[in-house]
Structure 1
């Protein structure tokens, strides 16, 4: 695969000279773990459904990573080849990534909720050579789905199945002890490692173009975010990081996988979110830090209060994705005894702004923090001039952790000649440099920190025989931040029911998370003189009808 990460080269000299790009990859950080603390606990992997728990030291992970590297190499994977992985949070996910890193392969994590519609595009666009899936997860047969997709994926050579059987089983292909005896192992795991400016991660984000965009990151772009992030949160080797946010998102990947390796800290992974299990894990494993969206925080506070579990070890809970309601911050702080930190970021650049551990709680309630070292923000008016403090405008960011570009879509990179990236968000900044996200100019709904690709869902519903016009907008939700509502004008003589809409989307293989949770049938929709639907008016109308204004 040839990667067109055109945003990397122009920044190398400046970012290196300023010390933000330190030239270290996950391999370098892992090697340091093997030198400094090989026998220290490194990873705990917990399956919520079965209760199975696996614990690993750094030395254990080193052995497994080498096996995965050899196994992938035997499958024909080489430098710059893409390995897609749909596993939930698990030791297999971590080992697959570490194995890829040792042979210079590019890791492409994809959410376990994705189905044929999303995956066929992503794997074909990314030219994935290997696809690693669970056999069954939450009752869904991922192996059967992967097999059904292969006819549409000319580059896909192998499907590896965790919990599978026979020759394609993960344990047989990527974790077999016999791989330790491969005479080429020393060469395989050292000769093709990528440098810190090479693309090492391909991760898709829902955009406004009607299809996902492949975000390219390097070790330098990601670790230049992780170093100041950990410093601001005062995280170190003795911390225990709980990660229940999916590692196919940047939240789980960067702060649940990469950061613990960098810090030589232990990570505890949950493959699904269960509030009681999470509370018990915090208590028994003495977890000190986690990062997740607001619903996770609310759940954890509720269960700790109800069941009386001990959460005293959990010093910091970082919330991102949506604004944190004031009562949630106050209650969680009281019940959990935890500092609640707010943040804002994107797949394209990781966490850009964070509040400070010493800030009063009001900062997390009323702001999304200030930029990390190496990142700059700019709020612009529609005419391009710089907005005044407290004035809302379009949010642009620039700096070390900005991505390398969108794969095969350089024209969509949204970076100007001075390196400023258009985030698509509307924000304001106060006199101290703290920002507040006020809305989005891009047409995306964020439901429980998961982006809903509005245009893609609308395009599908337009194909329904009863739909004449459709517009999907978000509406506030206390738990998930937002939910989606579809406004539909039916074709003459046709009807559409809520159940009919859901059935249609299911038949078209859309992830359940993308389905609108409300359907409004209308005879007309507010529109401009040119016929463009005014979504801001729909949002206002919906909030008024729901009694939210």
Structure 2
């Protein structure tokens, strides 16, 4: 009841669209050879037309709508259109392939899938055709063949062709408690978890964020993080929409495009993972103009944060959040305390966090323990697995993050490790258990354990410790070729192979992954 009362006080971020000057720039899309620029009036018209197109395809309020689109005007328009009819957005990373995409489509029961004709030399329709026999619910695939937002017949695969029935759309407008978002995140169960958020939860999260950082409609929001991730979607696209600000979309990562976003189009704010910060700050000519860089998604080396602050001439601050909780802690760009960038921040006003023992008892400041958080912006449930939700929320309403942390006397957070068995590759959570289960199917793998390997740019890379059934000329390519044949996305492939005669195990037979992590960390350090 308390959470409901709090959420009811926050305006929905969609309401902002009704008040913004239609002539104000809304989107600068840098994914084309020539930037595509839309103002708020054009964005609203395209979203309404696409909403009508979805209705004409038989999509109803409450349906999950799946789409595989890069950071682009098409992504923003599609998401707004889905929300305008009371449906739930289910964006999928463009890097995912048959194995992951078919799982998401079947799990979400999406009746429609929207894909580009081609992106980064990969054609999506043939993949859908390959998956077709295993797709239980998909009824139509919309293929985007033109990038021109002014091509009325063909834009967004023809979805934005017809004039909308605005009165009918008004009747479908979402409420605080309407499901807004379904994002899949890797866990330790071997099955990706479908995290569901409502419009009210996301609105609370974004308003708390923008108030804390004092962002305004005059800020220009740069979005290099994938829009199919919470960082890009909530703290890029939705931040911009909630403020009525301009968002600058970058689909393919390179420093030259980043420079265009910052110095050419005036980006002032970005929230992104460590590799983005490392690359632009270590460039021979670091781009200038950013006001705030919130570094999240993976642990940021404190020296990098310090050096980047000087190189970029902006405030670099730390932060912690998750798909389930949204952002909980963040540093302040308005304080000169080194802990603003030398830690993972302090709790955002209106939210709670604590460090506890296994029983949930809060520990004294400075002691390491289990990191738990509480927020009105916590997720609603895990799709089809509410029991997982109940396991993840303690009897006081705190989300058990699975991370280890300490807090100092002033409330600054420092993440120290993980309880969960995952690899965090530059903010991308790798589904370790699922990968291991697949690789156990390789004819020459007797035993396998996947752990994180320290990396100065990404935080961690994916290392596979393999025990072979018999000696052979087994190589890393044998692993990657096997995963490719299984339709596993390249971003999940191991990047380093270590052979081991016997995996270290506990008395109960569980592999001691901390031993393996220490082994590869020492090896990396010795080569440095």
Compute the TM-score of the two structures, normalised by the length of structure 2: 0.95
Query: How far is 1:420 from its partner?
Result: 1.3
Cα deviation code 1:292-319 (max 9, x no counterpart): 111111211233xx2475x1x3111110
CA distance in structure 1 between the aligned counterparts of 2:152 and 2:241, rounded to whole angstroms: 31
Q: 1:503 to 1:372 in 2, by over 3 A?
A: same
Residue pairs, 1:189-208, within 5 angstroms: 189-208=169-188
Matched, 1:51 2:33: yes
521, 530, 546: which one pairs with 2:508? 530
Q: In the alignment, what sits opposite 1:4?
A: none
Q: Which residue number in structure 2 is paired with residue 455 of structure 1?
A: 433
Instruction: Quote how far apart the aligned CAs of 1:542 are.
Output: 1.6
Q: 2:262 aligns with which of 270, 274, 282?
A: 282
User: Could you tell me how far apart the structure 1 residues matched to 2:226 and 2:127 are?
Assistant: 20
Q: In the alignment, is residue 363 of structure 1 matched against residue 351 of structure 2?
A: no
Q: Which residue of 2 aligns with 1:506?
A: 484
**What does 1:156-171 correspond to in 2, within 5 Å?**
156-163=138-145, 170-171=155-156
CA–CA distance in structure 2, aligned partners of residues 518 and 297 of structure 1: 24
CA contact (8 A) 2:328 2:348 kept: yes
Alignment gaps of 5+ in structure 1: 1-12
Deviations 1:314-350 (A, max 9, x none): 1111100122223322221112111001101100111
1:103-502 matches, within 5 Å, as 103-163=85-145, 170-176=155-161, 179-180=162-163, 185-303=165-283, 306-307=284-285, 309=287, 311=288, 313-360=289-336, 362-413=338-389, 414-492=392-470, 496-502=474-480
1:543 equivalent among 515, 521, 528: 521
CA-CA distance at 1:496 after TM superposition: 2.7
Of 60, 63, 67, which residue of structure 1 is paired with 2:49?
67
Equivalent in the alignment of 2:69: 87
List per-residue Cα deviations over 1:507-547 (Å, max 9, x = no partner). Answer: 11111111111111111121111211101111112212233
SS in 1 for 2:2: helix
Question: Over aligned residue pairs, what C-alpha RMSD do you find?
Answer: 2.0
Which residues of structure 2 form unaligned runs of 5+? none
Aligned partner of residue 128 in structure 1, secondary structure? coil
1:495 is displaced (CA, Å) by: 5.5
Contact 2:14 2:242 in 1 (8 A): no
Cα distance in 2 for residues equivalent to 1:149 and 1:202: 21
In structure 1, the partner of 2:2 is 14
CA contact (8 A) 1:240 1:268 kept: yes
Structure 1 runs (4+) deviating above 6 angstroms are: 164-168
1:40 maps to 24
8 Å CA contact 2:184, 2:194 repeated in 1? yes
Query: Which 10-residue stretch deviates more, 495-504 or 83-92?
Result: 495-504
What is the aligned partner in structure 2 of residue 10 from structure 1? Answer: none
Contact persistence 1:466–1:495 (CA under 8 A): no
User: 1:248-273, CA deviations, whole angstroms, 9 ceiling, x for partnerless residues?
Assistant: 00011002211111111111101111
Deviation at 1:16, TM superposition (A): 4.2
- Contact 1:73/1:188 (CA < 8 Å) preserved in 2? no
**C-alpha distance in structure 2 between counterparts of 1:443 and 1:364, whole Å:** 28
Aligned equivalent of 1:516: 494
| Selected match of 1:29 from 7, 12, 16 | 16
**Pair 1:155–1:41, CA change in 2 (3 A):** same
Per-residue Cα deviation, 1:46-86 (whole angstroms, up to 9, x for no partner): 11xx4221111111111101110111011001101111111
Contact 1:323 1:365 in 2 (8 A): no
Distance 1:266 1:164 in 2: 23
Q: Aligned equivalents of 1:338 and 1:430: distance in 2? A: 26
Find the aligned partners of 1:85 and 1:94 in 2 and give their Cα distance: 11
For residues 140 and 437 of structure 1, do their structure 2 counterparts lie closer, same or farther at Cα, with a shift above 3 Å needed? same
Report the alpha carbon displacement of residue 211 of structure 1 after superposing the two structures with TM.
Answer: 1.1
Cα 1:80/1:273, change in 2 over 3 Å? same
Aligned twin of 1:7: none
Q: CA deviation at 1:286?
A: 1.3
Q: 1:199 to 1:299 in 2, by over 3 A?
A: same
